[in-house]
Amino acid sequence: MRSVEKDGGLALGAATTAPEVTPPAATLAGKWLTDRESVLDFPAGTFDAFFRAKLPLNEKGRAAQAAFDSFSADNPEATFVGRPTPAAIISSGGYVFEIDLSQQEEVIILRTERFSEVRTVYMDGRDHPDPSERFNSGHSIGRWDGNTLVVDTANFSDHRSPYQIGVPSGGQRHVVERYRLTEDGTRIEYDFVLEDPEYLTAPATHSRLLLHSPHLDMLLSACDPEAARRFMN
């Protein structure tokens, strides 16, 4: 479904569709949505289905998934604990993803409508901190490889279900992402490599195109943990 039109002409859901002619971008900066033509092999279903298809689980990962009760306090979504990268990109089929380069010599800011998450990528040449320092979104450092932005993220906190399927992640998780603007400026070529030997038998990889979408507004969520807890047993 792309949209629903109600009596009186009010359209719902149209914000997830692209204009017929996509205006070019001069840089990676701006608002983006997944170009759905680039993910025609996307597993049928939702965010969950994507990771069910993509993650090569080891025995520990499969056991944790089998023991997970999504209608319990084990589910981080009940307390609005955000999902670490590359969740924002996988959600960008319906949630706007924004790249802010206004301070790019020091940091690049990545935003997503989903949970109103904000991620900082440090561009000042620093390394990751000691592994004992861990963060829910990880610690991201970036560099330019020609015209490609390379983002390396490590130092993740333990997370019970970052993929919404009951498979955890932890301190061994490591994600490398690459963003490159196409020559016509209408799309970003994006790919990631996700490693987590604690729960996966091999790295998970994926690539897609992001469509320049400056016509969209960022409709940020107002998170209410008390309301979220109502769905639990």
Tens digits of pLDDT across the chain (233 residues): 556 777 766 555 544 445 556 789 999 999 999 998 888 776 656 788 999 999 999 999 999 999 999 888 888 877 777 889 999 999 998 899 999 999 999 999 999 988 788 999 999 999 999 999 999 999 999 999 999 999 999 999 999 999 999 999 999 999 999 999 999 999 999 999 999 999 999 999 999 999 999 999 888 776 676 776 666 65
**Which domains are seen in the chain, by residue range?**
23-231 (2.40.128.20)
| Torsion on CA atoms 48, 52, 55, 61, rounded to nearest 10 | 90
226 CB-near residues (< 8 Å, 6+ apart): none
Of the candidates 52, 82, 5, 89, which has an alpha carbon nearest to the alpha carbon of residue 167? 52
**Residue 159, strand partner residues:** 169
Residue whose structure tokens are 């025609």: 40
How far is 123 from 113, CA to CA, in rounded Å? Answer: 23
The number of residues in the chain equals 233
pLDDT value at position 204? 97
DSSP for 175-197, please give it. EEEEEEE-TTSSEEEEEEEEE-T
36 phi/psi in degrees, rounded to 5: -65, -25
pLDDT value at position 15? 46
- Asked if 185 and 191 touch (Cβ cutoff 8 Å), the reply is no
Strands (E) located in the chain = 4-5, 11-12, 30-34, 97-100, 107-112, 118-122, 139-145, 148-154, 174-181, 187-195, 204-212
pLDDT value at position 166? 96
Of the candidates 140, 125, 213, which has an alpha carbon nearest to the alpha carbon of residue 173? 140
